[in-house]
Structure 1
Amino acid sequence: MPSTPHRALRGFLALCTAAGLASVAAPTASAAPGTGPTAVVTMGDSYISGEAGRWLGNSLTNSGSRNGTDRAWTGSAYDPSRVYGATAGGCHRSDTAEVKSAGPVASSLINLACSGATTENVIRASQGGQAYKGEAPQADQLAAVAASHDVELIALSIGGNDLGFADIIATCAKDYIVWYSYCHDDQQAEVDARIDGVMADVGRSVDEIRAVMTGAGYSASDYRIVLQSYPSPIPRAAENRYAESGWARTNTGGCPFWNDDSTWARDSLVPQLANRLKGVAAAKGVQFMDLRDALQGREVCAKTSKQVSSTVPASATTSEWARWIDSQSTQGLVQESMHPNAYGQQALGRCLALVHARPTGNHSCRNTAGAGASGMYLTAG
């Protein structure tokens, strides 16, 4: 981690929230609903694609395996493709992405999401959608999957990049490190000005998925759509293990935010977005998976979690489940910051598996203190 605030700032100015999911090669033979290999598909942005899946907790050690946290370490160098495969440097679809961590819920677990994707990257090209990072719009990719598989469930995470999550994170960090001012008042106004339009675009994305499935011969009862919200990567102020004053949050914890801004993000911004996404799900007649509390107590700098060190090994039961802000990219890429890491993704995969087994209703997914992914559970949501 950096030792001076001005060096730290350079990383924040480059911060980009992005993440993607990996496409799985589809069989060439055509299928129809109820025939062919079953499939669960994920679509959308970095929070479902697997961004930050490279990491098992956070460590201040900058060399070697970083105390076992860096899964890209080969023993002599770093190779992100060990985690992200051919999408390293692009969509960043990890081997621990939500759908890949869901277990044997279908014959094929297909990841179409891409790091940095917005709603326009979901919509079909024929309807004005845009290709992204060299790939066709995700709805067009879904059409090929629907034709060759028996698609049972499609999970969608989208809207965060449309709303400007990356800019919010960068602004709030900059206000802590440089300007000594709060960000939440100005940022709340920005969110309020954008959110209606963003939700309309999320709704259109759901409509596009439906149109593709109808075109492939599916009826509404042949498959399910699950719209999911976002987990908070940082804790509220009262649950942060580092003091607000000094440089520990910047140089040690990787959570450079003021108390009021942290609590605003955890208890206002994340719930506001979740509630609005739930409204879209209700309006479109799809299921909703609420992840706002999925990382509770496992966030970056949370009192009830620990950094990894030479004496504290990486562990799903004690380590943080989100990637810290590595402001100088001394470990991996800045774009991995503030995303669920491999532990967090495994937990979200368990959430997806649990919802897969619940064909109706809305559900909130939470973790059990002191347990790993197997401790995730659902409540009515």
Structure 2
Amino acid sequence: MRFPRVTAIVSSLLLAAGATLASAATSHAAAPTGYVALGDSYSSGVGSGSYDSASGDCKRSSKAYPVLWKNAHSPSSFNFDACSGARTGDVLANQLGHLSASTGLVTISIGGNDAGFADVMTTCVLQSTDTCVAKVNTARAYVQNTLPAALDNVYNQIRAKAPAAKVVVLGYPRFYQLNGTCIAGLAEAERSAINGAADLLDTTISARAASHGFSFGDVRTTFAGHEICSGDAWLHSVDWLNIGESYHPKPAGQSGGYLPALTKYAP
């Protein structure tokens, strides 16, 4: 009779199917879903207030885009390691410890401090237009000649330590709306030079991110119409009473500028 043989074949197929489903369920359960937020002051939320006192000089804000994304999506774990003033070397030395095979999302903004943008803005506010433009050009040379390798080092380490993660690299906004509402402050030539350097920085970061298979969140598009001199700025201008928050996003810049640029790639 053939029934025992047919029964055996059917039983084998059912067992194999069950094993496949169990394996798929196990794989799904083990999918990496932790979120690690790296980077500098634009990621830590400087300029947005509501700082976590435990974060000290890193000034991590509850209004920063990593916290906003975390609150909306409830990742399995969340590590907020971004720190005000961070450069690429600081990320390598101090911010990669929470990356692992269980990390499903990494975000980072980095490179502005390496290029010396704080020094650029200080120079432009306090000194002549010619001195400002010369300082901008020094920063541009660094971005073109030195920053790419520094970014590659960071991106290589992120991928090595978080092999399954979706990595979203966030850029920087243009600071100024040209021919805008400002009636004092920097000369238009200075504002134009600063915007041009920001564009170069973003172009450089975007290219290096793409070469590693990372997504680039271009916040210039989300900040459009909300630059300084726009009449509805999402960025602080120079603030003599709290100089550290100058040229950083306000809460609206984090929620309306940075969060949408992240959500485009990590919905």
Q: TM-score range by the shorter chain?
A: 0.7 to 0.9
Aligned-residue offset at 1:259: 0.7
In structure 2, how many angstroms separate the alpha carbons of the residues matched to 1:283 and 1:40?
A: 22
1:212/1:164 CA distance change after superposition, 3 Å: same
Aligned to 1:66: none
CA offset digits 1:329-361 (Å, max 9, x no partner): 2xxx3111101111111121232123203xxxx
In structure 1, how many angstroms separate the alpha carbons of the residues matched to 2:225 and 2:83?
A: 27
Q: Does 1:223 align with 2:223?
A: no
Aligned to 2:135: 187
Aligned to 1:157: 109
Unaligned runs of 5+ in 2: 1-26
Q: Does 1:341 align with 2:250?
A: yes
If asked which structure has higher relative contact order (CA below 8 Å, sep 6+), I would say 1
* One-letter amino acid of the counterpart of residue 163, structure 1: A
Q: Runs ≥4 in structure 1, deviation > 4 angstroms?
A: none
In structure 2, how many angstroms separate the alpha carbons of the residues matched to 1:341 and 1:324?
A: 10
Aligned to 2:206: 278
Q: Which one has the bigger helix percentage?
A: 2
Aligned-residue offset at 1:183: 4.1
2:140·2:200 contact (CA, 8 Å) conserved in 1?
no
Provide TM-score, normalisation by structure 1.
Answer: 0.58
Aligned-residue offset at 1:188: 3.6
Aligned to 2:194: 265
Aligned-residue offset at 1:205: 0.4
1:153/1:37 CA distance change after superposition, 3 Å: closer
Tell me the secondary structure at the aligned position of residue 226 of structure 1: strand
In structure 2, how many angstroms separate the alpha carbons of the residues matched to 1:346 and 1:285?
A: 26
In structure 2, how many angstroms separate the alpha carbons of the residues matched to 1:183 and 1:33?
A: 57
Alignment coverage as a number of residue pairs: 237
In structure 1, how many angstroms separate the alpha carbons of the residues matched to 2:218 and 2:31?
A: 31
Provide TM-score, normalisation by structure 2.
Answer: 0.81
In the TM superposition, 1:44-83 aligns within 5 A as: 44-54=39-49, 83=50
Aligned to 2:30: 35
In structure 1, which of residues 181, 199, 215 is the aligned counterpart of residue 148 of structure 2? 199
Aligned to 2:21: none
1:233·1:340 contact (CA, 8 Å) conserved in 2?
no
1:171/1:293 CA distance change after superposition, 3 Å: farther
Q: Does 1:93 align with 2:60?
A: yes
In structure 1, how many angstroms separate the alpha carbons of the residues matched to 2:205 and 2:29?
A: 30
In structure 2, how many angstroms separate the alpha carbons of the residues matched to 1:41 and 1:93?
A: 13
1:281·1:287 contact (CA, 8 Å) conserved in 2?
yes
In the TM superposition, 1:305-320 aligns within 5 A as: 305=232, 320=233
Aligned to 1:363: none
In structure 2, how many angstroms separate the alpha carbons of the residues matched to 1:197 and 1:101?
A: 33
CA offset digits 1:283-309 (Å, max 9, x no partner): 222111112233222123323x2xxxx
1:87/1:167 CA distance change after superposition, 3 Å: farther
2:175·2:194 contact (CA, 8 Å) conserved in 1?
no
* One-letter amino acid of the counterpart of residue 242, structure 1: C
Aligned-residue offset at 1:323: 1.7
In structure 2, how many angstroms separate the alpha carbons of the residues matched to 1:40 and 1:88?
A: 18
In structure 2, how many angstroms separate the alpha carbons of the residues matched to 1:288 and 1:121?
A: 21
RMSD of aligned Cα (Å):
2.2
In structure 1, how many angstroms separate the alpha carbons of the residues matched to 2:237 and 2:174?
A: 12
Aligned to 1:352: 262
* One-letter amino acid of the counterpart of residue 334, structure 1: I
In structure 1, how many angstroms separate the alpha carbons of the residues matched to 2:29 and 2:106?
A: 15
In the TM superposition, 1:225-264 aligns within 5 A as: 225-236=167-178, 238-239=179-180, 241-243=181-183, 249=184, 256-264=185-193
* One-letter amino acid of the counterpart of residue 96, structure 2: A
1:322·1:340 contact (CA, 8 Å) conserved in 2?
yes
Larger Rg: 2
Q: Does 1:105 align with 2:73?
A: yes
1:40·1:109 contact (CA, 8 Å) conserved in 2?
yes
In structure 2, how many angstroms separate the alpha carbons of the residues matched to 1:231 and 1:101?
A: 19
Aligned-residue offset at 1:189: 2.7
State the identity as a percent: 27
Aligned to 2:13: none
